[in-house]
Amino acid sequence: MKIYTRTGDDGDTALFGGGRVSKAHLRVEAYGTLDELNSVLGWGVTQVTEPSIRERLETLQHDLFTLGAALATPPAARPGRTRPNTPELPLHRVEEMESWMDEADGELPPLRAFVLPGGSEGAAALHLARTVCRRAERAVVRLAGEDDVGDGITRYLNRLSDTLFTLARLENHRVGGQDTEWRK
């Protein structure tokens, strides 16, 4: 199988389950930004030093593929047409991410000010992932204003950005660094 198909040379792309849309379509923007986030997380995995954080990031990468598949699959357009099967959304992970953050907060010094993105290489990578996650969330919200995106994707992404912030702080803390507080 060749990696190139030439079918998108005119600026459109196929959606999972049928149909073609412009590569500038909100749906493509949403799942494309999730793909970018997944790539940034993959880079983050190579930068963090803590094995437990790397393991969690890899779990999140698998989740993002599932969310991307859901976004790449539009609702059934015609009565009687079924939507193709995609993996079940990992919405249970929202509560799991909350427990990860609670666990980290027990180890971290209290957050008393805004912190600048950065610190160690791993933390900086996670802060970058957090900002891409926020952009993905905005793209999904824009899409949800025009089309069905399924239940829970925006909640997942909102919690994911909080998780990435917390994991960045945890990475800094564990490597002996400190968060840099914003000087007003």
Q: Three-class SS of residue 146?
A: coil
Question: Among 4, 25, 138, 15, which residue's Cα sits nearest to residue 69?
Answer: 15
Q: Residue 51 in contact with residue 165, Cβ under 8 Å?
A: no
Give the separation between CA 154 and CA 19, rounded to whole angstroms.
24
Q: Which two tokens stand for residue 164?
A: 């990435």
Under the banding of pLDDT at 50, 70 and 90, the label for residue 39 is: very high
Q: What would the pLDDT profile of 120-176 be if each residue is shown by its tens digit? A: 999 999 999 999 999 999 999 999 999 888 789 999 999 999 999 999 999 999 998
The CATH number that domain 23-73+90-177 falls under is 1.20.1200.10
Q: Which residues of 149-171 are buried (b: 16+ CB within 10 A; e: fewer)?
A: bbebbbebbbbbbbbbbbbbbbb
Higher pLDDT, residue 131 or 1: 131
Q: Which pLDDT value is given to residue 16?
A: 75
pTM of the model: 0.90
Maximum CA pair distance of the chain? Answer: 59
